[in-house]
A and B are shown apart, each in its own frame.
Chain A
Amino acid sequence: MSPVDGAGLSNPNLPVDQAVSEGRVPGRREEEIPELHEVGCPAELQERIEALMGRYPDRKSASIPALWAVQERYGWCTPEGIRQAAAVMRVTPAYLESVASFYDLLHTEAVGTHRIEVCTNISCWMRGGDELLDAFEAAAAGEDVFVTGFECLGACDIAPMASIDQRYYGPLEAAEAQTAIDQLREGAEVLPAKALSARPLAADLPGGAASPAPDAGSYGAGAEEDTDG
Chain B
Amino acid sequence: MADPRETRVLLAHAEDPALRTLDGYKRLAGGYAPLEKAYREMEQDEVLKELEDSGLRGRGGAGFSMGKKASFLPRGEMAKYLCCNADESEPGAFKDRELMQHNPHQLIEGIAIAALAADAGHAFIFIRGEYAAQADILDAAVAEAYEAGYLGTNILGTHRDLELVVHRGAGAYICGEETALLDALEGKRGNPRLKPPFPAVQGLYGGPTLVNNVETLSNAPHIVRNGAEWFRQFGTEQSPGTKVVSVSGGVRRPGNYEVELGIPTRELIFGLAGGPEPGHEVKAFYPGGSSSPVLTPAELDLPYSFEAMAEAGSMLGSGSIIVADDRVSIPHMALRTARFYHHESCGKCTPCREGTNWTVKMLERVVRGEATPMDLDIISSVQSNIMGHCLCVLGDSMAMPVSAMVSKFRAEFEEVMASAGAPLDVETALAAVQGPAETLGAST
Q: How far is the CA of A157 from the CA of B247 in the complex (A)?
A: 7
CB-CB under 8 A from B248, the residues of chain A are: 123, 156-157, 159
Contact A203 B255 (CB under 8 A): yes
Q: Mark B255-297, 1 if CB is under 8 A from A, else 0.
A: 1110000000011001111111011111000100010000000
* Interface SS of A by simple majority: loop
Q: Is the CB of B336 within 8 A of A125?
A: yes
Cβ-neighbour of A202 out of B89, B90, B255, B270 (below 8 A) = B255
Question: Are B202 and A105 in touch, CB under 8 angstroms?
Answer: no
Asked if B256 and A3 make an inter-chain contact with CB atoms under 8 angstroms apart, the answer reads no
Cβ of A8 within 8 Å of any chain B Cβ, yes or no, is: yes
Rounded to whole angstroms, the CA-CA distance of A91 and B292 in the bound complex is 40
Cβ–Cβ contact A154 & B131, under 8 A: yes
Report whether B266 and A219 are in contact in the complex, using a CB–CB cutoff of 8 Å: yes
A58 touches B132 (CB 8 A): no
Whether A99 contacts B15 by the Cβ 8 Å rule is no
Do A221 and B281 contact each other (CB < 8 Å), given the known contacts A1-B193, A3-B202, A123-B92? yes
Q: In the assembly, what is the distance between CA of A16 and CA of B149, in Å? A: 36
State whether A68 and B168 are in contact (beta carbons under 8 Å apart), knowing that A1-B191, A103-B129, A105-B129 are contacts in the complex: yes
CB distance from A4 to the nearest CB of B (A): 5
Q: State which of B169-177, B231-239, B369-377 sits at the interface with chain A.
A: B169-177
Q: How far is the CA of A127 from the CA of B52 in the complex (A)?
A: 41
Number of interface residues, chain B, beta carbon within 8 A? 93
Quick one: closest A residue to B130, CB to CB?
Answer: A153
Determine if B89 and A154 form an interchain contact, defined as CB atoms under 8 angstroms apart.
yes
Among candidates B165, B207, B270, residue contacting A13 with C-beta atoms closer than 8 Å: B207
Q: How many chain A residues touch B (Cβ–Cβ < 8 Å)?
A: 73
The 8 A CB mask of A191-229 against B (1 = contact, 0 = none) is 000001100111111011110010110011111011000
Q: Is the CB of B340 within 8 A of A202?
A: no
Known: A1-B191, A156-B91, A226-B252. A7 touches B206 (CB 8 A): yes
Chain A residue contacts of B88, Cβ below 8 A? 154
Return the contact of B249 from the options A57, A126, A166, A201 (Cβ within 8 A). Answer: A126
Asked if A155 and B340 make an inter-chain contact with CB atoms under 8 angstroms apart, the answer reads no
A122 contact from B2, B3, B206, B290, Cβ within 8 A: B290
Contact A197 B91 (CB under 8 A): no
Q: Are B187 and A60 in contact (CB under 8 A)?
A: yes
Tell yes or no: B37 within 8 A of A by CB. Answer: no
A122 to chain B, nearest CB (A): 5
> Does A65 have its Cβ within 8 Å of any Cβ on chain B?
yes
B268 to chain A, nearest CB (A): 10
Chain B residue numbers with a CB within 8 Å of A207 are 253
Contact with B along A99-139 (1 / 0, CB 8 A): 10011111000000000010001110111000000000000
CB-based nearest B residue for A152: B91
Q: Contacts A6-B206, A122-B290, A122-B322; is A104 near B250 (CB within 8 Å)?
A: no
**In the complex, are the beta carbons of B246 and A157 less than 8 A apart?**
yes
CA distance in complex: A223, B277 (Å): 9
Given contacts A103-B129, A126-B250, A225-B278, contact A58 B122 (CB under 8 A): no
A98 to chain B, nearest CB (A): 6
Interface-central residue, B79, B282, B328, by most chain A CB under 10 Å: B79
Give chain B residues whose Cβ lies under 8 Å from the Cβ of A184: none
Report which of A4, A14, A106, A202 forms a contact with B170, defined as CB distance below 8 A: A106
Q: Are A11 and B267 in contact (CB under 8 A)?
A: no
Interfacial chain A residues near B246, Cβ < 8 Å = 156-157
Contact pattern, A 51-74, Cβ under 8 Å of B = 1, otherwise 0: 000011110111111011000000
In the complex, what residues of B have CB within 8 A of residue A157's CB?
Answer: 94, 246, 248, 254-256
Q: Which chain A residues (147-203) contact chain B, with CB distance < 8 Å?
A: 151-159, 163, 166-168, 196-197, 200-203
> Would B91 and A151 count as touching, CB distance under 8 A?
yes
A209 touches B172 (CB 8 A): no
Distance between Cα atoms of A225 and B273 in the complex (Å):
13
Contact status of A60 and B186, CB under 8 A, knowing A157-B255, A159-B248: yes
Chain B residues with Cβ below 8 Å from A209 are 3, 5-6, 253, 257, 271-274
* Contacts A151-B91, A152-B91 supplied; 6 other A-B pairs, CB < 8 Å: A4-B202, A123-B322, A156-B93, A158-B254, A223-B270, A226-B274
Which B residues form the contact surface with A (CB < 8 A)? 1-3, 5-6, 11, 14-15, 77-79, 88-94, 96-98, 101-102, 122, 128-133, 165, 167-173, 179, 184-191, 193-195, 197, 202, 205-207, 246, 248-250, 252-257, 266-267, 270-276, 278-282, 286, 290, 320, 322, 324-325, 328, 333, 336-337, 340, 343-344, 346
Binding site for B on A (CB under 8 A): 1, 3-4, 6-8, 10-11, 13-14, 16, 24, 55-58, 60-65, 67-68, 98-99, 102-106, 117, 121-123, 125-127, 151-159, 163, 166-168, 196-197, 200-205, 207-210, 213, 215-216, 219-223, 225-226
